[in-house]
Amino acid sequence: MDSLIIRGGTRLDGTLRASGSKNAALPILAATLLTGESCTLQRVPLLKDITTMMTLLSSLGAGALRNKEGVVVVEGGSVQVFKAPYDLVKTMRASILVLGPLLARYGLAEVSFPGGCAIGSRPVDLHIRVLEAMGADVQVREGYIVARAPNGLVGVDFTFDTVTVGGTENAVMAASLAQGISVLRNVAREPEIIDLVGFLRAMGAQIVGEGTDTLTIHGVAALQGANYSVMPDRIEVGTYLVAAAATRGRVKIEGIVPEILSVVCDKLRHTGACITEGEDWIDLDMQGNRPRAVDVVTEPYPGFPTDMQAQFTALNTIAEGTSRVTETVFENRLMQAHEMKRMGAEILIDGDSAHITGRLSLQGAPVMASDLRASASLVIAGLVASGETRIDRIYHIDRGYENIEGNLQCLGADIRRIST
């Protein structure tokens, strides 16, 4: 099992290029099941979750291959299996996203209840309810969601009780091949949803309203293949920006549209960071100064992203002043605080909030990752700690960060991967 060894105390300094977005690539890969034609996807990151999704597509009969240039080609014309097995689904939450496309195109889908990070309850009931509203018969049998629509799905006017990214993605994919018009209300507005709609539109789907809380979809009889480039990963970029801020350093990230990180950048400005932006780049410079503490409350987009909460928790542990980090999206997503306390962080957990008193430094220690973003936060803590930090169970971080140790080495960090 791999671990990361970090010797902290070095200010990060350098330039990186943003990878493609994991959270956009996964639903786009699932959406290739909506057509029997070839789809070519560029800027797909090389991550464990992406490999798992490609393996899942292949298990269904769709050819999914990455060429030497890093481009993924999916051939969906030979799908003959409509069951997503537990052995694959248990490792990745996003596997639930094949439910809508399989059901819409073939009238049948069996998907095991998904796994992924242990960050609290993320129920799939809204996925099921919207598909039932479209006319599907959905039952739960022996841990599988079994959905049937032998006569196809029909358009629906549906309002989500709560904002759900995955539920929105499943619904908009299914509605693209449903008969008639679907109006989906109280939908998620994340940039990754907009990217999925862009891909579906490239396939011939008729969708309007992306970026708002209402999507209107005119179902079509068939979708075609498409060539599409996945958006940059705003969470990866945000993580490197926070890492530079925590180490009092500087980093320039190229290949990123600054608008999709406006909330994160505003918070970083509050820490004292000097941030400049261009059409496709962001530059952060702490000018050697210690960051100031900043309060954070997570919210659905366009609010502060839950996927950046752990990283700001790490930054606040060495910031000047006191702060409060409140998690409102997922319960149990402050687990990284317990590992940071092993490194000397002064954190008090009160329900869904972490009260943090910043210290000048942390001390290196052996720690264990509990989920994807917690892994990233422990890396940041290790970068600012004195001495050596060892992070175990880093298979979590490989699900969402492509070559994180290599990128940080390019910025001057003393970090390496070991196998035990």
Examine the residue annotation and report whether 117 is marked as an active-site residue of this protein.
yes
The alpha carbon torsion through 162, 164, 168, 174 (nearest 10 deg) reads -90
Phi then psi for 31, rounded to 5 degrees? -70, -20
Bridge partners (DSSP) of residue 218 are 181, 206
Q: Give yes or no for a contact between 353 and 324, defined as CB atoms under 8 angstroms apart.
A: yes
Q: Rounded to whole angstroms, what are the CA distances from 202 to 170, 288, 368?
A: 18, 46, 42
Let me know how many helices (H) and strands (E) the chain has, helices first: 13, 26
Alpha helices in 96-180 (DSSP H): 99-106, 125-133, 165-176
The contacts of residue 189 (CB under 8 Å, 6+ apart) are 211, 212, 213, 300, 301, 302
What are all long-range contacts of 161-164, with beta carbons under 8 Å and residues at least 24 apart? 161/126, 161/186, 162/126, 162/186, 163/187, 163/188, 163/300, 164/126, 164/127, 164/188
CA atoms of 49 and 36, how far apart (whole Å): 23
Q: Which two tokens stand for residue 276?
A: 């400049």
Catalytic residue among 117, 265, 274, 410: 117
DSSP letter at 35? Answer: -
Alpha-carbon torsion 175, 181, 187, 188, what sign? positive
Q: Rounded to whole angstroms, what are the CA distances from 408 to 4, 108, 227?
A: 12, 45, 32
Q: Which two tokens stand for residue 80?
A: 């003959």
CA atoms of 346 and 351, how far apart (whole Å): 16
Note if the bond before 101 is cis, omega within 30 degrees: no
User: Strand runs (DSSP E) across 25-175, as ranges?
Assistant: 38-42, 63-66, 72-75, 83-84, 108-112, 137-141, 144-148, 157-159
Q: Nearest Cα to 326, choosing from 334, 314, 318, 335? A: 334
CA atoms of 313 and 335, how far apart (whole Å): 11
Residues classed as catalytic? 117
